[in-house]
Amino acid sequence: MAGIKDIKFLTKPLGYNVGGPIDIMGSQYESGILDTPADRSDVKDQTKKFSMPKAPGDKFVRQVANLVIGKNPAVKIGRALFTEYGDDVARLGKQYKDDIFNAVFSKIDDIDFKTPQELAKTFVEMGVNKIPENVMKGQYWKNALTSLGKIANKKTTNNIASQNYKSLSKEAMSESGTKTASSMPIESIRLAQSTGVQTKRLANIDEYSKLRDNMLKNNLTFEEAIVEAAGKELKRSTKNYQIVGKFYRTADEMKKVDPDLHNFFQNQVKAYQIGNEVGGKFKKVRFGTKEYETARKELAKKLNIDIKDIDRAHSIMQSRLAKLSKLVDNKTITMEQYNRLAKPQYFLLNADNLKHVGLENKLDELLQRKKILVDTKKFASARNVQKGIDEVVEDMNKLGVESELFDPVKKLIKVFGRRPETVELYKKAKEIGIKKKDGGIVGISHLTRPL
């Protein structure tokens, strides 16, 4: 599991916050944008909301991201940046465009469906994107918005940022359609309504209700429930659509019909996104201390296998470190605890490390689910979820893997599972047929001394 170096660039936990009308704002068509002294009096200070590791361009990226996230007008953002960076604004914006995109759209709690358009306007004000000739006033940012869509489709783009951008863009289109429909004559609206579409949406909501019941009864994750309903293993792209895309196509209607059902699945989508984030800005420390790396070499030597078959195992996945940053800020956990969890703690064979990821994802989702049920005083359901938590921990003990996660009910970091003994790794290596470097496996008598 990958990881991150420094608490400085961690942000709030991931989550969506959407709503509000679309605001078509002016830009360079407004007179006096760059001809008057910069007025920063109404530019909100958001510097505490997002920070990144110190490196060339990071200050610039942080400033742009915080100003956009803070919902400052694009014109004001442009003025503020030109005051500090002068003619370098456009050059820096083009150079760090992808980084700004990732920084803005990884912040699920602080963005909504207007954010894609506002970032596009900001890029125009910065000179990153040009205004097309003969464009209608009010549509000057369209080309910039198209370029954001291209960034979202890049393989190198942060996975969560990409998904958030696409979801918010769809919501913006939906909101725009709602506004247009509201201005139509009532006869036209009635004529355009489709009973079949409405029936289909209600049927989908009913399916989600049954899905929730199954998840709560059998302590299934969203992913497990989707696969069980399909009756077969699904491709990752199909899972992403069934879990993320399909939910957001139904979310608005579900929120009106059954707000509790909407809130339940919104939380499940967040948990799925966190558990499946495998890159981006949140990176753990890959290598351990000198003593840890020496011990890894010694273990490979004892097992007489290639060192690449021994994974550096962290007690927490990289994407969950972002959630812990807020706990450090709130003094719920210490900086020392965070720094320790950012480093690899023990060793696993490659195959066991992959199983560890799946178990930790389920465990964290069940812990969050229990907290929500306890807060809403659904104690019978919470007790049933605890049974599911105990079952996952039992599987971790059997496998010999350990995770340290924040228990939101107990409000502390807890250790779940256990670390494997050296002898266990030897037996597993022999069972799965990992070959000795010069043919064969070393005898078990050589594995009795601790690391």
Q: Would you say how long the chain is, in residues? A: 451
Q: Name residue 49's amino acid.
A: K
Instruction: Flag whether 208 is in a domain.
Output: yes
Instruction: Flag whether 283 is in a domain.
Output: no
Instruction: Flag whether 440 is in a domain.
Output: yes
Q: Do residues 348 and 433 share a domain?
A: yes
User: What is the C-alpha to C-alpha distance for residues 149 and 133, in angstroms, rounded to an integer?
Assistant: 21
Instruction: Flag whether 17 is in a domain.
Output: yes
At residue 363, the pLDDT reads 93
Structural domain boundaries, residue 331: 290-447
**How many other C-beta atoms lie within 10 A of the C-beta of residue 78?**
24
Which of 275, 309, 336 delimits the end of a domain? 275
Q: Do residues 294 and 435 share a domain?
A: yes
At residue 385, the pLDDT reads 94
Q: Do residues 12 and 143 share a domain?
A: yes
pTM to 2 decimal places: 0.48
Q: Do residues 269 and 249 share a domain?
A: yes
User: What is the C-alpha to C-alpha distance for residues 288 and 353, in angstroms, rounded to an integer?
Assistant: 16
Instruction: Flag whether 189 is in a domain.
Output: no
Q: Do residues 49 and 140 share a domain?
A: yes
Compute the chain's Rg from CA coordinates: 25
Q: Do residues 348 and 387 share a domain?
A: yes
The tens place of each residue's pLDDT in the chain, 451 residues long, gives: 444 434 333 333 333 333 443 333 333 333 333 334 444 455 454 444 444 444 557 889 989 998 998 889 988 998 889 888 888 889 999 999 999 998 888 876 678 888 998 999 999 889 998 887 666 556 778 888 888 989 988 877 777 888 888 888 887 776 554 444 444 454 444 444 444 455 556 677 888 888 999 999 999 988 899 889 888 888 878 888 888 888 888 888 888 888 999 889 888 887 787 666 533 333 444 555 677 678 878 888 888 777 777 877 766 666 666 667 777 777 887 888 777 777 777 778 877 888 888 898 899 999 999 999 999 999 999 999 999 999 999 999 999 999 888 898 988 888 999 988 888 887 887 776 665 544 444 443 343 344 3
Q: Do residues 13 and 113 share a domain?
A: yes
At residue 394, the pLDDT reads 96
52-56 LR contacts (CB < 8 Å, sep 24+): 52/8, 52/9, 52/103, 52/281, 53/5, 53/6, 53/8, 53/9, 54/8
Q: How far is CA 27 from the centre of its chain?
A: 32
Q: Do residues 90 and 173 share a domain?
A: yes
At residue 144, the pLDDT reads 86
Q: Do residues 321 and 404 share a domain?
A: yes
Instruction: Flag whether 439 is in a domain.
Output: yes
Q: Do residues 422 and 363 share a domain?
A: yes
Instruction: Flag whether 281 is in a domain.
Output: no
β 402-407/346-349 pair status: unpaired
Among residues 147, 398, 369, which one has the least CA distance to residue 264? 369
Are 83 and 38 contacting, i.e. CB atoms less than 8 angstroms apart?
Answer: yes
Which of 218, 244, 275 delimits the end of a domain? 275
- What is the count of structural domains for the chain? 3
At residue 378, the pLDDT reads 92
Q: Do residues 392 and 367 share a domain?
A: yes
Instruction: Flag whether 113 is in a domain.
Output: yes
Which of 225, 242, 275 delimits the end of a domain? 275
User: What is the C-alpha to C-alpha distance for residues 182 and 178, in angstroms, rounded to an integer?
Assistant: 6
Q: Do residues 252 and 356 share a domain?
A: no
